[in-house]
Amino acid sequence: MWFRNLLVYRLSESFRLSEEELIKALQSKKAKPCTHQELATIGFVAPFGKGEDAPLVYVSHGFYLIAARKEERLLPTSVIKEALQDKVEEIELRDNRKVYKKEKDQLKDEIIQTLLPRAFSRKRVIYAAIAPKLGLIFVDSTSTHKAEELLSVLREAVGSLPVRPLTVKIAPNATLTNWVKSQQAAQGLHILEDCELRDSHEDGGIIRCKRQDLTSEEIQIHLKSGKLVTQLALAWQDKLTFMLDDKLTIKRLKFEDLLQEEADNEGGDDAASQFDASFTLMMLTLTEFVPSLLTCLGGEETPQGR
């Protein structure tokens, strides 16, 4: 139980649901298979354990872990397009008339409904952890679309969930650029060897550096010419490494071996105890790391009136 990526959201209001209330709410949006006429379904599954008795919420030290599973039928666009083209040509030849957009859309819907029962399905699970005391939700993803899907079904289940992505007062690319220019990040952070440089112009070039010395003269020349650092690999307090981008998305999150060994020692050989130790240590680390990172980036931006 170690998240590999991170999108962080701020709860605008206190999260007041108890474990029992949250489990009951998620039951109303439990995952189910796609029917023959459904393109996709999304709902909650147990984040740990299998079977009907496994709870839909895992709780440890005041942190809630949830998991949403999306099942979608795979209908390649090329297959639908080819079938639609064949149908259009058939009608135009048979009736000696042009098929226009409105009718094409109707034909496309009919084709999809015909193909759906024969389509393969794909399942994927996305995890999220809620830290009620900090008012944060951590989603293990780099895709804002997938994260919003989870948050949307969670909102439907609990009735109301006012959240917003974390933002900071200073543009992140300006801060990351200054760190590489000065060859020193904020306290507690250490610059690693990967970054992405973008020209400030809309159609400007992109340079991706991997395992490069970011203190080199070549990198400094790019920065002097106006390029901005839009992604930067960093280490934090010898506890984790990650890639941070200018949207505050955290990618390639890796908890260092010492933390994982600590969880192994605390969890022992029992799978449930091991899971609990890993999840708890991960959350204790993240709830220390994220506020520290926000401070390093100039402080969290709070909407006016809050």
- Domain boundary residue, one of 116, 146, 180: 116
Which stretches of the chain are assigned E, i.e. beta strand? 7-11, 40-45, 58-60, 63-74, 120-131, 136-139, 163-165, 189-198, 206-209, 228-236, 240-245, 250-255
Domain match, 200 and 156 both: no
* Inside any domain, residue 199: yes
Domain match, 150 and 186 both: no
Domain match, 157 and 16 both: yes
Residue 224 has pLDDT above 70, yes or no: yes
Residue 193 has pLDDT above 80, yes or no: yes
Domain match, 44 and 106 both: no
Residue 199 has pLDDT above 70, yes or no: yes
* Inside any domain, residue 67: yes
**How many domains does the chain contain in total?**
3
* Inside any domain, residue 305: no
Domain match, 199 and 106 both: no
> Which pLDDT tens digit goes with each residue over 30-53?
999 888 778 889 999 999 988 778
* Inside any domain, residue 279: yes
* Inside any domain, residue 306: no
Domain match, 18 and 102 both: no
* Inside any domain, residue 178: yes
Domain match, 227 and 292 both: yes
The whole-chain average pLDDT of the chain stands at: 91
Domain match, 27 and 139 both: yes
Domain match, 128 and 184 both: no
Domain match, 213 and 223 both: yes
Over range 274-300, report the average pLDDT: 95
* Inside any domain, residue 303: no
Domain match, 40 and 125 both: yes
Domain match, 193 and 97 both: no
Residue 92 has pLDDT above 70, yes or no: yes
**Whole-prediction pTM value?**
0.86
- Domain boundary residue, one of 143, 165, 187: 165
State the residue range of the domain holding 25. Answer: 7-74+118-165
DSSP 96-141: TS---HHHHHHHHHHHHHHHGGG-EEEEEEEEEEEETTTTEEEES-
Over range 190-203, report the average pLDDT: 87
* Inside any domain, residue 32: yes
Q: In the chain, what percentage of residues exceed pLDDT 70?
A: 98
Cβ neighbours of residue 240 under 8 Å, at least 6 residues apart?
253, 254, 255, 256, 259, 285, 289
